[in-house]
Structure 1
Amino acid sequence: MTVQTIYQDTLRFASIKHLGQTLPSSSIPYVVHLSNVAMEILVAAQHHSDFNLTLALQLALLHDTIEDTDTTYYELEEEFGTTVASGVLALTKNSALPKEARMMDSLNRIRESVPEVWAVKLADRITNLQQPPAHWDTAKKADYQEQAKVILAQLSGGNTFLEHRLAEKIKAYSQYL
Structure 2
Amino acid sequence: RRGTNSIYHAPNRYSYDNNLTAIQLDRSLAITISPLGLHCVNICIYICRVYNFAGVARILSHEGGITDIEVLQAALLHDTVEDTDTSIGELQAVFGQTVARIVQEVTDDKALSKEETKRQQVEYAPHASHQAKLVKLADKLYNLRDINRCTPTGWTAERVQEYFVWSAQVVRGLRGTNPALERHLEELFKQRGVEL
TM-score, normalised to structure 1's length?
0.74
- Which residue of structure 1 lines up, in the alignment, with residue 173 of structure 2? 154
Cα displacement (A) at 1:103: 2.8
**Structure 2: which 5+ runs fail to align?**
9-21, 30-43
Specify whether residues 160 and 121 from structure 1 end up closer, same or farther in structure 2 by C-alpha distance, changes over 3 A only: same
- Following superposition, the deviation at residue 44 of structure 1 comes to 4.0
Q: Which residue of 1 aligns with 2:96?
A: 81
CA distance in 2, matches of 1:111, 1:52: 23
Moved more, 138-147 or 106-115: 106-115
For 1:109 and 1:86, locate their aligned partners in 2 and report how far apart those are by CA, in whole Å.
15
Q: Is the 8 A contact 2:134 2:177 kept in 1?
A: yes
2:131 aligned residue: 116
1:151 Cα deviation (Å)?
1.7
User: How many residues matched?
Assistant: 153
CA–CA distance in 2 between the matches of 1:103 and 1:81? 28
Q: Is the 8 A contact 1:44 1:161 kept in 2?
A: yes
Structure 1 equivalent of residue 120 of structure 2? 105
> Aligned equivalents of 2:188 and 2:177: distance in 1?
17
Q: Distance in 1 between matches of 2:70 and 2:133?
A: 12
**Pick from 60, 67, 73: which aligns with 2:82?**
67
- Counterparts of 1:68 and 1:77 in 2: how far apart (Å)? 17
- For structure 1, the residue ranges without an aligned partner over 5 or more in a row are 1-14
Please say if 1:56 is aligned against 2:71.
Answer: yes
Query: Does the Cα contact within 8 Å between 1:60 and 1:120 map onto a contact in 2?
Result: yes
* 1:137 and 2:156 aligned: yes
Matched, 1:168 2:187: yes
- Indicate which of 124, 142, 167 corresponds to 1:127: 142
| Gap change, CA 1:95 and 1:119, over 3 Å in 2 | same
User: What's the counterpart of residue 55 of structure 2?
Assistant: 36
SS at 1:34's partner residue? Answer: helix
Deviation of 1:54 (Å) = 0.5
Range with bigger deviation, 127-136 or 32-41: 127-136
Does structure 1 residue 96 correspond to structure 2 residue 111? yes
For residue 160 of structure 1, report the CA deviation from its aligned partner. Answer: 1.5
Bigger radius of gyration: 2
2:159 corresponds to which letter in structure 1? K
Whole-angstrom distance in 1 between the partners of 2:184 and 2:70: 21
Cα contact 1:90–1:110 (8 A) shared by 2: no
SS in 1 for 2:107: coil
Query: 2: distance between equivalents of 1:74 and 1:40?
Result: 27
Q: Percent identity?
A: 31
- Matches of 1:137 and 1:45, distance apart in 2: 31
Cα RMSD (Å): 2.8
Displacement after TM superposition at 1:59 (Å)? 1.2
CA-to-partner distance for each residue in 1:9-62, whole Å, 9 max, x for gaps? xxxxxx98xx99xx457245121111111111102443xxxx662111111100
